[in-house]
Amino acid sequence: MTKITLKVNGKTVSGDAPDETLLSVFLRENLRLTGTHVGCDTSQCGACVVHVDGKSVKSCSTLAVSLEGAEVTTIEGLANGGLHPMQVAFNDNHGLQCGFCTPGMIMTGVDMVNRYKTEGTELTSEAIRAELEGNICRCTGYHNIVKSIEDAAAKM
């Protein structure tokens, strides 16, 4: 057991967990932040994506103990009280059906838009599709997810 202290969604939190504890497990089981989902065991599906120090990370393949002192943002903490433009865009564009991949899609989408804006590169629909390489959705056929991210990018 190691005591792990992180800043999660703006609050400093700590918990005891075995060294092999994945960030996804620490978030879901220690902190009970169950909005971060686990959809595979090979780091392929992206349902578990969170932001660590502002960058998207697959929490299912990150050891919690390796992030001592890091700032973690999960889907629950993406917006303070209201809704982030990406969350609004997913609702406006019917970018979700069962909702299971949605937290990861939204966190990936936000990271993608931020990176392209910082780089000053246009985020085309082709670029969105390429950037979604690590996120699998089985419900939507991606059509409306791509539209949602395009829509949010214009508003962020």
Partner 1 sequence: MSTGIGDAVKRKEDKRFTTGKGKYTDDVRNDNQAYAAFVRSPHAHARVTGIDASAALAMDGVIDVLNGAQLTGDGIGNIICGWAVTSKDGSPMNMGAWSALATEKVRYVGDAVAVVIAETQALARIAAEAVEVSYEQLSVAASIAAAMEADAPEIHENAPGNLIYDWEIGDEAATDAGLAGAAHVTTLDVINNRLSPNPMEPRSAVATYDDSEEQYTLYTTSQNPHVARLVLSAFYNVAPEHKLRVIAPDVGGGFGAKIYIYPEEITCLWASMKTNRSVKWTSDRSEAFLTDAHGRDHVTTAKMGFDSSGKIVGFKVDTLANLGAYMSLFSSSVPTYLYAPLLSGQYNIDNIHCNVRAYYSNTVPVDAYRGAGRPEATYLVERMMETAAREMGMDPAELRRRNFIQSFPHATPVLMEYDAGDFPTILKMAQSSADVAGFPARRAEAAARGKLRGIGYSTFIEACGIAPSKAVGSLGCGIGLWESAEVRVNPVGSIEILTGSHSHGQGHETTFAQIVSDRFGLPIENVSIVHGDTDKVQFGMGTYGSRSGPVGMTAVVKAMDKVEAKVKKIAAHALEASEDDIVIEGGEVKVTGTDKSMAWHEVGLAAYIAHNLPEGMEPGLKETAFFDPVNFSFPSGAFICEVEVDPDTGHTEIVQFTSADDFGTIINPMVVEGQVHGGVAQGIGQAMLEHVIYDEAGQLLTGSYMDYTMPRAADLPFYDVSHHSTPSPNNPLGIKGCGEAGAIGAPPAVINAITDAIGSNDLEMPATPQAVWRAIQANSSPLAAE
The residues binding partner 1 (CB under 8 A) are: 18, 20, 28-29, 32-42, 44-45, 47, 74-76, 78-79, 83, 87, 90-92, 94, 96-103, 106, 125, 128-130, 132-133, 135-146
CB of 41 to partner 1, least distance (A): 5
Least Å from the CB of residue 110 to partner 1? 12
> Could you report how far apart the first and last alpha carbons of the chain are, in Å?
41
Check: CB of residue 62 under 8 Å from CB of residue 55.
no
Question: What six digits make up the tokens of 35?
Answer: 């909005």
Cα–Cα distance measured from residue 90 to residue 147, given in angstroms and rounded to the nearest whole number = 8
Our CB check for partner 1 shows the closer of 97 and 114 to be 97
Instruction: Kindly tell me which of 130 and 154 has the beta carbon lying closer to partner 1.
Output: 130
In whole angstroms, the minimum distance from the beta carbon of 54 to partner 1 comes to 19
For the chain, the helix, strand and coil percentages under 3-state DSSP, each to the nearest 5: 45, 15, 40
CB of 22 to partner 1, least distance (A): 10
Cβ atoms of residues 13 and 6 within 8 Å: yes
**Nearer of residues 69 and 143 to partner 1, judged by Cβ:** 143
Residue 19 tokens read as 């060294």
